Structure 1
Amino acid sequence: MLTYGTERRPGDTVVISEKIALLLTDRTIPADPTRVQADARWLCRFVRPRPDSLGLAQPVKMQWVIDTLGRPRVYAAAAAAALTRPFGIRGGFYRVAGPAARDIDGGRPPYEHLLFPPFDVAEATELCEELAAKLEVGVAIVDINDYGGTIRARSAGALPERTLLGALADNPMRQRRTGTPLALVRPVL
């Protein structure tokens, strides 16, 4: 960004894909299918993935959620989904399990061998501040997809979260092979 990036102006915010930030800071986790336990394999059969994403239908991701949140919470989330889904209420699992279950990424090409856990907010904020000092503009780490997204962290000089979400709402960074890991959001004056 310093050498080849576009001209940055005061008020700009450099937006970095959470996946790239995790890769570059070595915070990914090996996706090891050999350690997936029976309950993760069983639970993932009931996940209804979106058309372009497997989500927790991948046993290795479900195992990470169980390891991270604990069996009692994951089982409670599964029970909530089982009780609410027949009434047309979707997302019960994620409401009980929380953002960690929703935000786990990876397990598909070209990173089928890696999982991308959600970036710890404090660590992501620290990275944003460090990069902002070097780039001399605001920095935000984001997890955006075609269904919405999250501003994981931002530096003190970055645009407000609401402004960033509005600018990124149509997913201009795209996904997978057609995506870009960086974007520049410039306020309209």
Structure 2
Amino acid sequence: MSDARIDGRRWERTVLRTPWLTEHHDLGAVLAAALADVDTPGQEHRVLAVAEKAAIVTSGRTIPADRARWLARVLANAVRPVGDSEGLSVPAKMQYVLDETGYLRVLWAAAASALTRPLGVPGVFYRIAGTVARDLDGARGAYPETLLPPLSEGEAQLLAHHLAVRLGLPVAVVDVNDRGGSVRGRSPGCPPAATLLAVLADNPLGHRRQSTPAVLLRSPAHGAEQ
């Protein structure tokens, strides 16, 4: 358990531990069991932040990272990993982006990146290549042979609503790591996305083999957030 203070408001963060999740688990049931061990509903504002990765794995959306053609290998070789994240330097991930985003768009993104990189302009490839290129996970760490395609905005929003009804508290589906993140979907009652990202800025969920796919956020109920 740890605290974060955002705009003068204290948020208590309790990370939920679960079994190692697979496509055979019911995410809602696993989260309900984990909440039963730690949650004591009261007057505070309660929100459950759930890792997008857990939703992808339990919904059976994973894809084998076992295919890469020559162009994917060439483009992947030009990608510079950031920190301990290999990103699209993994050929199988680049192949998936080519297939999903389109060869012309990816080649345009690569050309623009090659032109702007010497000028010190970062991230051009990912801005042009789009959401799939930015948010594709897997093929590393706990999932060395598996790709984890990101949920669409509509899918994440629907999942957040479904889990909120099932668990009885607001739910946000998030994708956070040690370099930042995004809120993929929110049910009614959640704080604004900017507040959630600030509360989760130090990534209390972790992103390796911790089996901590969700974190319960609690704050004294003073003034509803819009």
Q: Calculate the TM-score normalised by the size of structure 2.
A: 0.78
Q: For each residue in 1:20-41, what CA deviation from the matched residue of structure 2 results, as whole angstroms up to 9, or x when unmatched?
A: 1111111111212xx3111100
Partner amino acid for 2:162?
Answer: E
2:117 is aligned with 1:85? yes
Q: Distance in 2 between matches of 1:50 and 1:88?
A: 15
1:23 corresponds in structure 2 to 57
Give runs of aligned pairs for residues 16-165 of structure 1, distance below 5 A.
16-32=50-66, 35-165=67-197
Task: Say which structure is richer in helix.
Answer: 1
Give per-residue Cα distances to partners, 1:108-141, cap 9 Å, x unaligned: 1321121111111111111111110111110111
Q: Which runs of 5+ in 2 are unaligned?
A: 1-30
Indicate conservation of the 8 Å contact 1:8/1:137, yes or no. Answer: no
CA root-mean-square deviation? 1.4
More strand by share: 2
Inter-partner Cα distance in structure 2 for 1:20 and 1:80: 34
Matched, 1:166 2:220: no
- SS state at 1:15 partner: strand
Letter in 1 for 2:33: T
Q: 1:8 to 1:105 in 2, by over 3 A?
A: farther
Percent identity, aligned pairs only, is 47
**Alignment-mate amino acid for residue 68 of structure 2:** V
Distance 1:163 1:37, change over 3 A: same
Per-residue CA distance 1:88-126 (angstroms, 9 max, x = gap): 111111121122111000001321121111111111111
Deviations for 1:41-82, whole angstroms, at most 9, x for unmatched residues?
000111000121111000000001100110100000000000
Q: Are residues 63 and 109 of structure 1, via their aligned partners in 2, closer, same or farther at CA, if it must alter by over 3 Å?
A: same
TM (norm. structure 1) is 0.93
Moved more, 63-72 or 90-99: 90-99
